[in-house]
Amino acid sequence: MPTAAEDCVTVHSPINGVVTKLKPHAAIVTSTRGVSILVHLGIDTVSLHGKGFALLLEEGDVVATGDPLIHWDLTPVRDATLSPCVPIVIVSPPGLTATSHALRSQVSILDPIFSIEDPA
């Protein structure tokens, strides 16, 4: 979640993979192992119809961990009194296990927030 002092942030890819879905307020990146990560910018931000979001790439682009995905101006979110919380949803295929490492609300680029393990 962005800090209260931040007016603009750049959202980065959490994994190496392909951008399989890209909307102004959300991105899904899918790894070669079939793990999909949804990064959703704010709560109910779809209601902003793209205002405050600038896409930095396109669906189908290959990305590395830390590559910029979306530039986010938080002013429209705050003006609409929406939450800037950034939910991250991990969808792993059968046989893989996701474990969260993000124990605080603020993380920096390349901080590990989860790991995916193959127990076999």
Give the pLDDT confidence of 48-89 residue by residue, as tens digits: 999 999 999 999 999 999 999 999 999 999 999 999 988 888
Would you state the pLDDT for residue 117? 76
* 57: DSSP letter: S
Indicate the number of domains in the chain.
1
- The reply to whether 100 falls in a domain is no
- The reply to whether 42 falls in a domain is yes
- The reply to whether 21 falls in a domain is yes
Given the residues 25, 40, 71, 101, select the one marked as catalytic.
40
- The Cα-based distances of 45 to 50, 72, 77, 78 in angstroms read 8, 11, 7, 11
Over residues 29-38, the mean pLDDT reads 92
Is residue 13 predicted with pLDDT exceeding 90? yes
Question: Of the given ranges (22-31, 69-78, 109-118), which has the lowest mean pLDDT?
Answer: 109-118
- The reply to whether 112 falls in a domain is no
| Residue 119 identity (one-letter amino acid) | P
- The reply to whether 111 falls in a domain is no
Would you state the pLDDT for residue 104? 63
DSSP notation for 30-92: E-TTS-EEEEE-SBSGGGGTTTTEEE-S-TT-EE-TT-EEEEEE-HHHHHTT-B----EEEE-
- The reply to whether 54 falls in a domain is yes
Would you state the pLDDT for residue 102? 67
pTM (2 d.p.)? 0.86
Residues 6+ apart with CB under 8 A from 120: 95
- The reply to whether 13 falls in a domain is yes
Over residues 6-12, the mean pLDDT reads 92
Our answer to whether residue 40 is catalytic in this structure is: yes
Query: Is the Cβ–Cβ distance between 28 and 37 less than 8 Å?
Result: yes
Confidence category of residue 108, pLDDT binned at 50, 70, 90: confident
Which residue range forms the structural domain that includes residue 89?
8-94
- CATH number of the domain residue 40 falls in: 2.70.70.10
Question: Of the given ranges (5-14, 24-33, 45-54), which has the lowest mean pLDDT?
Answer: 5-14
Would you state the pLDDT for residue 120? 57
- The reply to whether 15 falls in a domain is yes
